[in-house]
Each structure stands twice: as C-alpha cells, then as structure tokens.
Structure 1
C-alpha cells in the first residue's frame, strides 16, 4: 500500500519533528496542505503534549502525527495522551518502539520509526512497523553516518514496507531523486524552517536563508551522538572544546537549553539544527506553497527525465 493511502494524505511528505519548533502551528499547516504534520514531543510534559495535540486538532481535521523520542523518561505517559486524544500516527527515534508495539497495535496507531541504517530498518520491519523514514547524514539534528544517496536504495532493497527518504531534500529535485532511489516519499525538516507558519522568530528564518552549502557542522561525534547545526558562536566553541577532549559535563553545560534558545531567536548561543540543503532556501513561504511547488517541480522533472538519457 502506498504511504498516501496508508495515512490518507494527499502528498507523500512528512514534516520533520524538530525539537522546540515542530508544534501545532506548523504541524496543522502542513497537514492542511496535504502532507503529514508532526508534533515533536521531545522535552514535553504530559500537559504540554495534550495541549499541543488539542490545538492541532482545532486547526486541522486532516491526519497528523506525534514524534516520540523514546529515550525520554515519560514515554508511557505521553503514549497515554496519544491514545486518549485519538492520535493515529507516531514516528519514533532515539530508541526502539518494541516495548510499546502491543499497545500501539491495540489502539490502531501506525508506527513509523526513523532509521539510520539497513540493520535497524530490518529490525523495525520485524517488530511490525508500518513504514520507515530513512534518514541520511545530510539531515539537520541527530544524524547517522550514511548519506541519503547511499542509504535509501539499500533500505528500500532490504524491506517491503513503505520507505520515505530524509536528509538533504529541499525541493522537487530531491523528491524526484528520492523516488528514483526507491522511496515512496520524503520527510523534510529544513525546508519547513522557513515556512510562514513555523513558530520561530524571523531572525531564525533569515539565519537559515543566509546559510550556504558549507554552513553546517556536526558536533558530538566523539561522544557517539552526532548532531548537525548551522555554525555559530556556540557551535564553534563546542567544536574547540571537543577537539581539546573536554569532559562530557562541560560540553553538556555549553549546550544546555540550546534548542530552546534558538527557537527563541538567540542565533549565537542557540543550536540551529538544519541540514546541508539549507543553501537552496531563499525565501519565507506558506507551508502550502512550499509543498505544492516542490511536488510540481518533482512531477516536471519526472516527465522530462527520460529525455536526458542520451546514451
């Protein structure tokens, strides 16, 4: 079954779950535009998640999802909220959904893990995942080691459930490429950072627009938790300390609350998590326009692609 039929959405695009950013305003706008909006629950209390879900339901009657960072201590309580509020799709990361699969299945909740390699993709399929988001290292935020171009065809070859490609996709060219690699759609975060409905200050959006192809850096590789962000004062300090073998406590002190600072508009001390594709983003647009233009471009590319093979 196609991902659009599985989830009852028009366009096969998920809006990425970005910490402190992917809230009801953005999720509802993406869902209303025909994609799958996603609320990022990481760091939320039960009350905060319930409020976000209810506000999202008030703004859209279309399907939307909640992302669960499974390393969080309050996952069972957050799942209770999803069940009580009737959320029917979850995406997962930072852990395995295995302990929770029975309750998800019992309540008809579709489970779509984000995976960084083939081995984990296979395990998620065996657990009963309904689909997968296959995320390459070009993505913003927490990343794996394998690039999207190399990862997607290997995952789509290895599993039978629908796969969405993520990482380094910012327009219709990336969507067309994802289909060529075997995916049924995409997940995108960075391109929605410049959506009108994205609940961050304008200086955050302009910071993303000003970034070029070399603007991002990966921190945390030595500690085994790599994160891609746009370079700023805090990131440069982190890299210096990391290279000096600073303690984990010192590094954690530097980054404490950094996602929240960025979402509030602090471009020097916040963590502006964005992917390597941010260099193609040039203006702020409504989420609906972002989606419709991207898929129109993808269709145009697909229609003319055969003419480019002149061998």
Structure 2
C-alpha cells in the first residue's frame, strides 16, 4: 500500500513502530523494519555512545529504513543529531517540537524529519519550520498525552498542514488503518501494539499484565511527573496518588539517584532536564525530579520486570489486545485486515451506481 508517507521514508507499509523508552531497542526496531514498517529507535534512555552502537546494531540486522527518536529539549540533542547524520539514519523523529535550527541541519543532511505533535498549532509550527511529516497523537495514546481524541484531532491536523500526517493513539489493527486513511492520514503509528509482540524485549511477566488489562485498567495520572501520563493502573501509581508531598520527594530523590548512576548525568543536568519537561506548568520539586528520572520508573518495569516499582505506559488499546505475534505477523495481519475493510467499503454504493 503506497501513501505519501511510505514514499517519503521508503517503507513498504504505512505503519510506524513508535520510539518507546527501554522498549524500542535494536531487536524490536529491526524486526519492525524487516516487516516493512518504519521502526523507530528510542534514544532518550541511551547515552550518545549507546545510541551510536544501537544504530549500528539495527543496521547489522536489516537493510530497511529506520528512524531514531530524540528529545528536542535534551541538553545533548545537537550531539545526538550528529550521530544520526554521521550514521546515515533515514528518519529523525521528535517527542517534542524540534527547533528550526535542528530541522534545517537534519534536512540539509538528507534526513527526513518527523516530529510528534498533540495539537493542531504544533503541527502548523513544525510544518512552517520545514518538517517533512508529523505524527499526531490523540488522547488514547500511551505515555504523555493530551485530552483530545484522535478522531477529533486527526482531521484538524490533516486540514491544517500540507505534509503527510501519521495518526497515533488508539490503533492496533487494519480497520484502524483504513479509518485513519479515510480521515486523510498517510499511515498509522502504534506503540503498545508493538510492545506486545514476541520481538519486544519487555519481560514476559510485564507483557502478561498488559494482556490481562481491560480498557478500564488504563488510566491517566499526573502523579508521576505532574503531566498527564496514560499508563496501566498499578501499585506504584496508587501509592504515588496517595503519597503526601514529603513522601513523594523522598521517592523522587531515590529514583533520581538511581537514574543518575545509570545515565552518568550530573544532578544539575537532571534538574535542568526536569525543569525543561515542565512545559510551562507549575510543578513541585518532587515532580521536577520525577520528570527528570521518569525513565527509571519505566526501566523498572520494561527492563527489570518490577511492576511493583515501575510504571507501564499504555495506550487504551492495551485493553483490547490479546496476543503476542511477531512483528512480521502483526504487520501482515494489519495489512490483510485493511484490505478486507477496503474491499467491504468498495461494495457500498448508492442504489443504481454501477461498480468501478
């Protein structure tokens, strides 16, 4: 299925595997790419050297195009862009709007720039700055998310910009792909659905928690870092929501210390990153620290399998996913379902109108 997005990035199918911290590593990204989707490597939880090594590992596993996701507000964003350019990565995606300068540098090197946005005005801004496409996530999406449903946000963005739009938030099958195309999108992006594959390195016990979840088990909370965060309800989420300010600060300092040891970041750098993550909101110091080290809370679950100590970011689709296919099986299934849906729509005609 060829769309403006597949032509832009050079993949076979209009499907994106999103850059999920601690989840979208070389194994998952290369498997998604080999399946004909655009796999995106998550770099926010890697050092610069680890990012370069991960890019090279993906390239050793597949010759298909893939991308790298960056935090635009990271202090070393320019250095990470340098790795993308030097290693010849096809696509750079951003969790927040990148600066005009970063976009220009990437485009000058022939890299396709695809920021993720959660509002029409953000899409208009990055399009004016030269972004090649946008991923627009509605409120159903996992992780940090907004309040507007994909079915409302997506057509707004499609009408506002003249670049390919990829729809995210609430997608897991071929029917969703056809619905997104009907709204004018050029593809879909899926996070939770790719997390729940056999190619994902997330521990089996954690995957089991996702598979057991109902739609009502997926919640939005601000208790983790002060920003709306969609995740599975867990013991930790409950305790964070119950904790007083003093308890939250103690927990935040402890997690921050752990992330500092892993990342090699200084305390001042972590606080600066936490402040940058506020996005103009008033946060307590515990929330600032948590914003800086939320990756540790994700690592506890996604890497160590400690669902009692970590958070599990999840889109609402976690409540309807029931199996763990390989990426190849998933992508083939989505495309087959999409074709079935399109064939069914093709049979819908007003009375008296001949086929064709």
Above 0.5 in TM-score? yes
> 8 Å contact 2:96–2:117 — kept in the other structure?
no
Equivalent position of 2:343 in the other structure: 303
What aligned pairs does 1:51-62 form with structure 2 within 5 A after superposition?
A: 51-62=53-64
CA distance in 2, matches of 1:244, 1:162: 47
Equivalent position of 1:292 in the other structure: 332
Aligned partner of 1:249 among 258, 272, 285:
285
Equivalent position of 1:273 in the other structure: 313
Equivalent position of 1:76 in the other structure: 78
**Residue 179 in structure 1 maps to residue 181 in structure 2:** yes
Per-residue CA deviation, residues 89-112 of structure 1 (Å, 9 max, x unaligned), is 111123433231221122011100
CA distance in 2, matches of 1:242, 1:162: 45
> 8 Å contact 1:193–1:208 — kept in the other structure?
no
CA distance in 2, matches of 1:258, 1:142: 14
Q: Alpha carbons of 1:223 and 1:261: their partners in 2 closer, same or farther (altered >3 Å)? A: closer
CA distance in 1, matches of 2:311, 2:224: 18
Deviation at 1:9, TM superposition (A): 0.5
> 8 Å contact 2:225–2:294 — kept in the other structure?
no
What aligned pairs does 1:1-311 form with structure 2 within 5 A after superposition?
A: 2-220=4-222, 225-241=227-243, 248-251=284-287, 252=289, 257-263=296-302, 264-305=304-345, 307=347
Equivalent position of 2:280 in the other structure: none
Per-residue CA deviation, residues 255-278 of structure 1 (Å, 9 max, x unaligned), is 571011011211122111110011
Deviates more, 1:94-103 or 1:169-178: 94-103
> 8 Å contact 1:140–1:275 — kept in the other structure?
yes
> 8 Å contact 1:219–1:238 — kept in the other structure?
no
> 8 Å contact 2:224–2:294 — kept in the other structure?
no
CA distance in 2, matches of 1:116, 1:145: 9
For structure 1, the 5+ residue unaligned runs are none
Per-residue CA deviation, residues 34-79 of structure 1 (Å, 9 max, x unaligned), is 0000000113211110111010000000000000111211111111
TM, length-normalised to structure 2: 0.82
TM, length-normalised to structure 1: 0.94
Deviation at 1:213, TM superposition (A): 0.8
CA distance in 2, matches of 1:42, 1:277: 24
Per-residue CA deviation, residues 149-200 of structure 1 (Å, 9 max, x unaligned), is 1000111011111001000111112111111211111000010111111111
> 8 Å contact 2:223–2:241 — kept in the other structure?
no
For structure 2, the 5+ residue unaligned runs are 250-283, 352-356
CA distance in 1, matches of 2:340, 2:244: 45
CA distance in 2, matches of 1:278, 1:243: 31
Structure 2 residue matching 1:229: 3-state secondary structure: strand
> 8 Å contact 1:12–1:185 — kept in the other structure?
yes
Deviation at 1:223, TM superposition (A): 6.7
Q: Alpha carbons of 1:4 and 1:278: their partners in 2 closer, same or farther (altered >3 Å)? A: same
Structure 1 residue matching 2:215: 3-state secondary structure: coil
- Following superposition, which runs of at least 4 residues in structure 1 exceed 4 angstroms of deviation? 221-224, 242-247, 251-256, 306-311
In our comparison, the structure showing a higher alpha carbon Rg is: 2
Deviation at 1:229, TM superposition (A): 0.7
